[in-house]
Amino acid sequence: MTAGPRMNGAEALVNTLADQGVEVCFANPGTSEMHFLAALENPRMKSVLCLFEGVCTGAADGWYRMKDKPASTLLHLGPGLANGLANIHNAKRASIGMVNIVGEHSASHLKYDPPLTSDIEGLARPLSHWVRRAESARSIAWDTATAVAKASEHPGQIATLILPGDTAWQDAGERVLPVAPVPVRRAPDQARIDEVAKVLRSGEPALLILANKATRGRALELAGRIAAGTGCRLGSQFFTARIERGAGRVPIERIPYAVAPGSAFLKDFKHLITAETREPVAFFAYPDKPSLLKAPGTLVHGLVDADEDSELAFEMLIDALGLRDTAPLIQQRIETPVPQGALNPISIAHAIAAAIPENCIVVDESLTTGRESMGLTMGALPHDLINNMGGSIGYGTPVATGASMACPDRRTFCMVGDGSAMYTIQSLWTQAREQLPVTTIIYANHQYAILKAEYANMGAGTEIGPQAMAMIDIDNPRIDWVAMGTSMGVPSKRVTTAEDFHKALTDSVRADGPVLIEVLLK
């Protein structure tokens, strides 16, 4: 603890966030947060305005994915938190750390039940790991330090701190520096390692399924050695928080999304070995289809638990297997020709593979279109691929916004279906304001195409009736994405051929700020 100038609760909060390493606040403030706003004048905190709270929480998610440390959000009472919840759900499912600051009425005012009153704890709890109401300005530095420590755990946690107005404006006393937590790296016990080593030495077909921190950096390289040395294959769930992929990286096979191809992919494996994830399950339940994708005789071995360290575990496994000198599997570079002609999943994939520069970030929320394309970009220049693990659409453009804030020297490509893009389209404005190097690619097929397939999958009928079809088709009116992007200050263009798409992508790499490309699919 160090002494310093006196401050109010809001200043203590922002100072403590900064002291604990939180660099950014994605904010959508209201009246009850005016003192917090004043405290944001702090030069150690970058504040970023978002015009809808789902953009704030999604951007905090994107920030964490690239930085491995939490961002903060500022949300206006219960309804502001509510608007951010869907992307908090997605973040939670992706093991993201995040500190949400939720404004609240002063304690003395709450008893009158003014209009914006709601049960904020009740709204926060289902999707937060940690919820606290700051009780006084004097304790807020500790509350804040605890929130950041909680968010910074592995796996990342959702911490929600409720800030009553009086707590923000009252005297917090002298400045305090709560002690920062020491990060813990936990490894699995040796017995688990030995069991998996035995499985891998057996030569029986095995799939090592990687997730969270196992899909990048040294952990991924170690997994590549294990695969090279034992003949096991490396897989990922269909959706993974972040994968380092492309030429020169260890390649990971993606377990297909739909039940039939997912089961077909898994049926030849005798063993599934999981690292920071669990065995693959169907995204939805369907009448007469299984929930678990593995074949009946397949064994599942939990190698690394969600709160353990894959890098340590893989080191131990490599020692057990004697693979210290084995070179990892490496993805070769595949030079992709610039595609010509019609836009389809293959020409789209080729355009992307040919255009994306080294070290870029790709955020994928393209559902039907991207699902068919992404396999063809394995040999592109090395990049980070980010996917949505929570299934709530509207994650793409906010996450791209936050990822780009975290990595302003790298271009971020955000691939998003037209249906998905509409949920949190306000992201474009923040991208324009911050002049972020984000290329938003809208796949405009004018429908919730995924639902057309799912209607049949669900056995809801062989033909979709006109009322049901009207709930799936978004072509009337057709959204003009060039006008949409332009309305929020993002230079936008429409492409109708593969060569124009490729050119728009490479042009965007040279742009200073955000760009939107509408890929007109029909």
- Residue 56 near residue 84 (C-beta atoms within 8 A): yes
CB of 512 to its own copies, least distance (A): 14
**Closest Cα to residue 271, out of 193, 198, 189?**
198
Q: Which is nearer to its own copies, 142 or 257 (CB)?
A: 257
CB of 423 to its own copies, least distance (A): 5
DSSP states of 409-474: TS-EEEEEEHHHHGGGTTHHHHHHHTT--EEEEEEE-SB-HHHHHHHHHTTS-SS--HHHHHTTB-
Residue 71: phi and psi, rounded to 5, are -100, 165
- CB neighbours of residue 316 within 10 Å: 21
Is 91 one of the binding residues for its own copies (CB under 8 A)? no
Is 85 one of the binding residues for its own copies (CB under 8 A)? yes
Stretch that binds its own copies, among 15-23, 27-35, 62-70, 338-346 (CB under 8 A): 27-35
Binding to its own copies (CB under 8 A): which residues in 286-305? 287, 291-292
CB of 34 to its own copies, least distance (A): 4
| Cα–Cα separations (whole angstroms), residue 333 to 44, 246, 357, 499, 500 | 41, 7, 13, 21, 24
Is 49 one of the binding residues for its own copies (CB under 8 A)? yes
Stretch that binds its own copies, among 142-150, 208-216, 297-305, 458-466 (CB under 8 A): 458-466
The CA distance from 373 to 413, in Å, is: 15
Q: Which is nearer to its own copies, 242 or 350 (CB)?
A: 242
- Residue 208 near residue 225 (C-beta atoms within 8 A): no
Residue of 221, 481, 502, 504 that binds its own copies (CB under 8 A): 481
Residue of 472, 493, 506, 511 that binds its own copies (CB under 8 A): 472
- Residue 401 near residue 438 (C-beta atoms within 8 A): yes
Stretch that binds its own copies, among 50-58, 192-200, 318-326, 352-360 (CB under 8 A): 50-58
Q: State the Cα torsion 289-292-297-300 to the nearest 10°.
A: 170
- Residue 417 near residue 449 (C-beta atoms within 8 A): yes
Q: Which residues pair with 439 in a beta bridge?
A: 413, 515
Is 83 one of the binding residues for its own copies (CB under 8 A)? yes
Residue of 454, 499, 500, 507 that binds its own copies (CB under 8 A): 454
Q: Which is nearer to its own copies, 64 or 314 (CB)?
A: 64
Angle at 481 between CA 478 and CA 487, to 5 degrees: 120
Site string for its own copies, 391-410 (x = CB under 8 A): xx-x----------------
Is 465 one of the binding residues for its own copies (CB under 8 A)? yes
CB of 169 to its own copies, least distance (A): 5
Q: Which is nearer to its own copies, 322 or 461 (CB)?
A: 461
| Cα–Cα separations (whole angstroms), residue 375 to 247, 256, 272, 408, 500 | 13, 10, 22, 27, 22
- Residue 304 near residue 238 (C-beta atoms within 8 A): no
The CA distance from 214 to 78, in Å, is: 36
Is 93 one of the binding residues for its own copies (CB under 8 A)? yes
Site string for its own copies, 323-362 (x = CB under 8 A): ----------------------------------------
Is 101 one of the binding residues for its own copies (CB under 8 A)? no
Binding to its own copies (CB under 8 A): which residues in 153-212? 165-166, 169
Q: How many residues bind its own copies (CB under 8 A)?
A: 100
